[in-house]
Amino acid sequence: MHELLELATRHGVSVVFLATLAARLGAPVPASAVLVVAGGLIAAGELSLAAVLAVAVLANLLGDGAWYYAGRRFGYRVMRLLCKVSMSPDTCVRRSETLITDWGGTSLLAAKFVPGVSVVAPPMAGALKMPLMRFTMFDAAAGLVWTGVFVALGWIFSQQIQDVLDAMANAGGVGAALLVALIVIGVGVRWWRRRSAMRDLNVERIGVHELRDLLAGEREPVVIDVRSEAAAAIDPRRIPGAVMIHPQGIEHQMDQLPRDREIVLYCDCPNEISAAKAAAVLARHGFVRVRPLRGGLQAWMEAEAAGAASPTSAAASAP
């Protein structure tokens, strides 16, 4: 542990830059803890405050800027990727798009302190076409505030930080093993909660081909797009004839839905979890013919790309 402290003292500015950049790119690096330690070293006169703030803000701009460009260039594809690797795929994008649409540029500051959203907010800002200059200004300000908070904590509790480092050094391998165990337990708890939520939403799905057959029949089903307005703006693709109803507002519009027809809901999220949640809400209110689309919008579009024409397009091309 003393070697780690010596390394941080000798290469402190570089360590702050690399840790912050890695965290902003999405790597599981405890950048905030590094900044707290840096704050303690600044209080001891071992590091320069101006240098730490400068490299941390630069790392924020580089990491967030890369995600901003990816979101602006690739849109919904990047958001799907982030949702797939998130421990909370049903909320990772929704929370960030709510911040961006409600708070605008200031959302980038709030996102720094919201777990699971800090990496998603920059590509969401890019996908929603936030102007580059506006993004840069707010992201730099957010990076400065975020860095300053943790550096200040390290400065204030510099003596306690030294005591903790000394205690961990004396504990040796036992302290390191305990730290690893705590991290594993934390990840395990989050994984178990995610699995439990998925079991609760283990409702019957409908496949793309079955939906096509229903659309080609005499009594077409009601197809509902449960994506948010922001998600639909990022990805304008839609199943023909679908109506948009936000999942959080579906209870207020269920009186307009027929109970004697098949209702199919879709989203563009992993495990079609938003559609499954909306289907569960309808089921609790007595709708018995309601199912989420297996694979969601992506499965429908892949079938389209594979050459399986939709009933709507097939009817249009018939003589």
- pTM of the entire structure? 0.62
Tens digits of per-residue pLDDT, 150-174? Answer: 999 888 887 776 665 555 555 555 5
Q: What is the pLDDT of residue 127?
A: 81
What end-to-end distance do the CA atoms of the chain give, in Å?
A: 78
Residue 45 has pLDDT above 60, yes or no: yes
d(CA 168, CA 208): 56
Q: What is the pLDDT of residue 313?
A: 44
> How does residue 315 score in pLDDT terms, banded at 50, 70 and 90?
very low
What string of DSSP letters covers 21-40?
HHHHHT----HHHHHHHHHH
Residue 288 has pLDDT above 50, yes or no: yes
Is residue 135 within 8 Å of residue 126, measured between CB atoms? yes
Question: Any idea which of 33-47, 77-91, 100-114 has the lowest mean pLDDT?
Answer: 77-91
Cα–Cα nearest to 293, from 228, 232, 215: 215
At the second CATH level, the architecture of 208-308 is 3-Layer(aba) Sandwich (3.40)
Highest mean pLDDT among 53-57, 84-88, 171-175: 53-57
Tens digits of per-residue pLDDT, 200-224? Answer: 566 789 999 999 989 888 888 999 9
Q: What is the pLDDT of residue 291?
A: 92
Residue that wins the pLDDT comparison between 12 and 239? 239
Q: What are the boundaries of each domain within the chain?
A: 2-172, 208-308
SS3 80: helix
Residue 5 has pLDDT above 50, yes or no: yes
- Mean pLDDT for the stretch of residues 44-64: 92
Is residue 303 within 8 Å of residue 208, measured between CB atoms? yes
Burial (CB < 10 A; 0-12, 13-18, 19+), residue 170, is exposed
> How does residue 199 score in pLDDT terms, banded at 50, 70 and 90?
low
d(CA 174, CA 156): 28
Residue that wins the pLDDT comparison between 129 and 149? 149
DSSP label at 204?
A: P
The pLDDT mean for the chain works out to 78
Cα–Cα nearest to 139, from 31, 29, 55, 57: 57
Percent of the chain topping pLDDT 70: 69
d(CA 255, CA 261): 14
d(CA 266, CA 292): 6
d(CA 250, CA 237): 21
d(CA 132, CA 141): 14
